Copies of this chain bind each other. A is one copy, B any other.
Amino acid sequence: MRATFLYGAGDVRVEDAPDPTIQHPTDAVVRVVRACVCGSDLHPYRSMQATVVGAPMGHEFLGVVEDVGADVVTVRPGDLVISPFAFQDNTCVYCREGVQTSCVHGGFFASGDVGGAQAEAIRVPQADGTLVKPGVALADTDDAMLASLLTLSDVFLTGHHAAHMGRVGPGRTVTVIGDGAVGLSAVLASKRLGADRIVLMGRHRSRTDLGVEFGATDVVAERGEEGVAKVLELTGGEGSHVVIEAVGLLPAYEQAYGLVRPGGTISRVGVPQYEEAPVGFRSLFGNNVTLNGGPAPVRAYIEDALPDVLSGRIDPGRVFDRTLALDDVSDAYRAMDTREALKVMLVP
């Protein structure tokens, strides 16, 4: 099969690779129908040391089951399935508590001996706990529906996780920092959960325009202290009940505690590119600010979101503004790295 590997900063290639096979009785092999490039893929794309052994890439996909191990009971060859970006048994103690990304038998795609999803096919460990049938056959979908279903693999439900952890709901003001695909998804998720007011902080007009269509009531292009002042002004000096940090860089976190309301929540879904940050009296403690978030336990949220996607009530797939063939994956990375494209879908 053809599959994507990263050999160093800026050096991403599609190559021939062995077809994935069942290795454990709980595995499935899925033929990938749609995959995509994640903002988090850009971190190694920008910084990885050159290597002779390529790293498999991609963790968001939907596809059709091709083969299943002897113990797999919930999916059959031919089923259209959505996969979370992490696999899990969905039965362990942490899974039962809704933290599937910390599953004791779980892990991440494109990591260790588990291949990447920017490929023609992929082995899915813990298939019963991982794969979800959307309740529609491939033949009954169209491109727009596939795009929206694909976002349930990561990006929309990562935005949803942020909003859920922030306890977004009616009467709450939400500020989303970051106009990338996760930030825009967080806007859509906040709207879906009933937020009254959604401030989107971003400076890319085409992106913030989509944010407004998704439900943002205000757009703030300013950053840093200026951005904080603007959001405080918009909220009558009170600050935002929930701040969703969808960037992952320290200045975005600093912005977050600058504009969060006393007693409010900073919910992070941008993977932090820092380890140490202010958490003391002046930043979080003094005003009883809650800090939470993390890798989204997507598996916990798929079934709840599916009816809204299938009915067309929400169309999270609009974050994809470009579709490329798998063989053009290097163009996909380049387009996202230069911000020409918001998020690129790949068709194997």
* Interface, chain A (partner B; CB < 8 A): 93-94, 97-99, 101-102, 165, 238, 261-263, 268, 271-272, 274-295, 297
Q: Given the interface contacts A279-B275, A281-B275, A287-B102, does A238 sit within 8 Å of B93 by beta carbon? A: yes
Apart from A99-B288, A276-B280, 8 more pairs, CB < 8 Å: A102-B262, A165-B290, A272-B281, A276-B278, A277-B279, A277-B280, A279-B291, A284-B294
Return the contact of A288 from the options B272, B280, B286, B294 (Cβ within 8 A): B294
- In the complex, how many angstroms separate the beta carbon of A252 from the nearest chain B beta carbon? 13
Of the A-B pairs whose beta carbons lie under 8 Å apart in the complex, a sample of 14, sorted by A's number, is A94-B238, A94-B262, A99-B262, A101-B288, A102-B263, A102-B288, A165-B290, A275-B281, A277-B279, A279-B291, A285-B294, A288-B292, A288-B297, A289-B292
**Please, which residues of chain B bring their CB within 8 A of the CB of A281?**
271-272, 275
Task: Return A96 CB to nearest CB of chain B, in Å.
Answer: 10
Chain B nearest Cβ from A259, distance in angstroms: 15
Minimum Cβ distance to chain B for residue A92 (Å) = 10
Number of copies: 2
Q: Across the interface, do B276 and A276 meet the contact criterion of CB distance under 8 Å?
A: yes
Q: How far is the CB of A146 from the nearest CB of chain B, in Å?
A: 29
- Name the B residues within 8 Å of A295 (CB-CB): 285-286, 288
| Given A238-B93, A284-B294, also A272-B263 (CB < 8 A) | no
Q: What are the residues of chain B within 8 A of A282 when measuring CB–CB?
A: 275
| Residues of the B chain whose Cβ atoms lie less than 8 Å from the Cβ of A294 | 284-289
Cβ–Cβ < 8 Å partners of A278 in chain B: 275-276
Judge whether A94 and B275 touch: CB under 8 Å: no
Chain B contacts of A293 at CB under 8 A? 285, 288
Distance between Cα atoms of A264 and B198 in the complex (Å): 28
A276 to B279 Cα, complex, angstroms: 6
A99 contact set on B, CB distance < 8 A = 262-263, 287-288
List B contacts of A287 (CB < 8 A).
Answer: 99, 102, 294
**Known contacts A277-B279, A291-B290, A285 near B272 by CB under 8 Å:** yes
**Which residue on B lies nearest to A97, using beta carbons?**
B263
Least CB distance from A178 to B in Å reads 16
A235 to nearest B CB, angstroms? 10
CA distance A94 to B287 in the complex (A): 10
Interface centre among A278, A285, A291 (most CB of B within 10 A): A285
A280 touches B291 (CB 8 A): no
Contacting residues, chain B, for A290 (C-beta < 8 A): 165, 290-292
Q: How far is the CA of A282 from the CA of B282 in the complex (A)?
A: 23
Cβ distance A186 to chain B, nearest Cβ, rounded Å = 16
Residues of B within 8 A of A275 (CB): 278-283
Contacts of A291 in B (CB 8 A): 279, 284, 290-292
- In the bound assembly, the distance between CA atoms of A277 and B165 in angstroms comes to 22
Which residues of the partner chain B approach A274 to less than 8 Å between Cβ atoms?
280
Q: A285: which B residues are within 8 A, CB to CB?
A: 268, 271-272, 293-295
